[in-house]
Structure 1
Amino acid sequence: MTRIGAVAAHFGRDLDRAVAKVEGIVADARAAGVDLLVLPDATLGGYLSDLRHPDPSALPPGLSEDSYPVQRIRAMAGPMVVCLGYSEQVDDLLYNAAVCVSGDGVLGRHRKVHQPAGESLVYAAGDRFEPFDTPVGRLGMLIDYDKTFPEAARSLAQGGATILACLSAWPASVTDRASRLPQDRQSRLFDLYDCARAAENQVVWVSSNQTGVMGGLRFLGQAKVVGPGGDILARTSSKGGLAIAEIDVAAEVARSRRLLHHLAELAPHAYLAHGTED
C-alpha cells in the first residue's frame, strides 16, 4: 500500500518562508505515514501575479536544482518522495518547472509545456513529457495547464507511469469570476480534468494547487487524490490542507484495466492526421 498526500497551500516570493512552510508540511506528512507528497506549482518563489500582463520587475526568483532551497527540501524528504514546483533559471531563460526528489537525490524533472495567456512572456516552454522510476513506482509530472491537453497525460501513461502528479497554481476565472470559489467556472474545470485524466488513462492522479491570492489571481485549492476509475479518494477545500489516500497502486491500476484496457485498445491508425501532405 502507498500513502499519497496532495497539498493545497499558499506560497509567495519569500524563499525562507517557503522552505520553513514545506518543512512543517513534510513533518505532518511523515507523521501521517505519507510515501509520496505532491506540493503545488511555484512552491519556491510563488507564481505570477497577473496572467495577462506579468510585471517583469516582480517575477519569481530563478533557481536551479542545486540551489539551497531545492537541496534543503531534498534533505528533509528522507525516504519520502516529494514533488515541488519552482522557477528554473537556465542562462537567460526561466522555466516553470517541477522536480521530484527524495533524500537520495533528484528522481525526475519536468518543464511546463503548455502556456496560458501571458505566461509565455515570462517563461520558456518545455518540450517533453518523460516518466521516471521512483520508490513508489513509475511516475510522471505535469504542471497545471498541461492537464488541459489529454495527450500530455496519455504520453506519460504510455511511458509506463501509473502515478501522475499534476502540480498547479490554478486560479479562479480571470474574465468571469464567481462570487464564491466553488461556483467558479475554473473550479469545475479543475475537478473535471483531474477525474477525466485519471479515468482516461486508468492511473492514480495526484493534484496539488496553490491557495490564497497573488496579485490579481485567486487560487482554487482543491488538492486531491483520484483513483484509476476517476473516483476522488481524498480532497481538500479551497483552503490550505493535505489530502491523504492510501492505495495499492499496482493492484488498483491492474483491476481497472482487467476488462477495458484503454492504452492497449487504442486505435491510432483511425485518428485523422491534419496538416500532412502526401
Structure 2
Amino acid sequence: MSRNLKVGLVQQPAWPDKARSLAESEAGIRELATAGAQLVMLQELHATHYFCQTEETEVFDLAEPLDGPTGSWLASLAKELDIVLVGSLFERRAPGLYHNTAVVYDRDRGRVGHYRKMHIPDDPGFYEKFYFTPGDQDDGRAQGFQPIDTSLGRLGVLVCWDQWYPEAARLMALAGAELLLYPTAIGWHPHDDREEMNRQKEAWTLIQRSHGVANGLPVIVANRVGHEPDPSGATPGIDFWGGSFICGPQGELLAHAGQEAERMLVTLDMTRSEEVRRIWPYLRDRRIDAYGDLTRRYRD
C-alpha cells in the first residue's frame, strides 16, 4: 500500500533586502500549500543575498537567533498553512559565534529541530569559513548528522557543501532518515567557459542523485537563481544556476527546474524505499568491519 507525500520546493532569487527576499519566499510557500504541498523546502540563505562573496564584519548584523524575527515568521507560516516547512537562517548563536542553519517547523508545533551546516567551504567567492562555525557533533536537537522527526516522517536535512559528501548522506540514512533534503546556494563564476559550467552542474546533480541510489531514499534539492554581483567589485559576481530537483530512491528525476524562479511539487510514494532496499540491500551488505580508516584524513 502506498503512502503518498506531496513535497514542494521554492527556487528563487534573493536580495540584500530581507523583506523583499522573504516576500518572494512567502509567495512560493503559499502557492505550493494551495496546490496541496504537505512539506515545503526553501533554499539556503533565502532571506538575503549570498553575502559570502566578501569578508565584511558588518554582515554579521544580518544574523538572528533561532527564534528571532525570521524564525518566528516561518513558524507562523507553517502553522497557518498546516505544513512542515524547512527554512534557512544565518544564525547568531552567541556573540562571535554564527552558523548556517536549516530549521524545521511542523504545523502547530513550531520549531521541531535544526541542523547546523557541518562542511564549510572556503573558496574564491564562497568565503563561508569567515562567517560560519561548523555544527557540533552533540548539541541536543542539532546533533551532527541527526535526522529531525516531524509529523510527516524523519527528515535528513543537510546544507549545500554537505551535498558532496557521501558520508553525510549515509549517516543520515543509518539514523533512519526517510528523505534527504539539501537547501543550497551554488553557481558559476561568469568567467568559466560553457563546457566547464556544464561539467560543474552535471556533477552537482549527479552526486546528489547518487546519494538517493546509495541509500534508497528520495532526495529534494533547492538552489537559488539569478546573478548576484560581488559587492567589492573585485569579481564579476556569481550566476546561481538553479537546477533544483526532486528524485526518487533509485535516483530517478521526478522534477527538474531550469535557471529561473520556479516552484516544484511532486507526490512521493514513501513506501518505495522499502521496496528498493529489498532488491538493492546495500545496508545489509556493508562491510562495517573493514571501514575503520574512513575516520582518517588520508591513508598514507
Find 2:177's aligned residue among 143, 161, 165. Answer: 161
Structure 1 unaligned blocks of 5 or more: none
Structure 2 unaligned blocks of 5 or more: 137-143, 230-236
Moved over 4 A (4+): none
Amino acid at match of 2:135: G
Counterpart Cα distance in 1 of 2:89 and 2:172: 21
Aligned to 1:178: 193
**TM-score, normalising length from structure 2?**
0.84
Alignment of 1:29 with 2:29, yes or no, is no
Q: Secondary structure at the match of 2:15?
A: coil
Amino acid at match of 1:26: I
2:156 touches 2:179 (CA, 8 Å); kept in 1?
yes
Distance 1:178 1:56, change over 3 A: farther
Identity of aligned residues (%): 25
Amino acid at match of 1:65: L
- CA deviation digits over 1:90-132, x for unaligned, max 9? 1121111110113321122111111112311121111311102
Q: Secondary structure at the match of 1:13?
A: coil
Q: CA deviation at 1:67?
A: 1.1
- CA deviation digits over 1:66-96, x for unaligned, max 9? 1122211211123211111120001121111
Find 1:190's aligned residue among 204, 209, 227. Answer: 204
Aligned to 2:148: 132
Distance 1:275 1:143, change over 3 A: closer
Counterpart Cα distance in 1 of 2:131 and 2:22: 24
Q: Secondary structure at the match of 1:29?
A: helix
Q: CA deviation at 1:186?
A: 2.2
- CA deviation digits over 1:112-169, x for unaligned, max 9? 1111123111211113111021122111111100011110011111000011110001
How many residues end up aligned between the 2 structures? 271
1:101-250 correspondence runs (5 A): 101-103=105-107, 104-117=109-122, 118-127=127-136, 128-172=144-188, 174=189, 177-179=192-194, 183-215=197-229, 216-249=237-270
1:45 touches 1:86 (CA, 8 Å); kept in 2?
no
Aligned to 1:43: 46
Counterpart Cα distance in 1 of 2:120 and 2:194: 26
Aligned to 1:10: 13
Alignment of 1:261 with 2:266, yes or no, is no
- CA deviation digits over 1:192-247, x for unaligned, max 9? 12211111111111000111122312211111111000001112111111121101
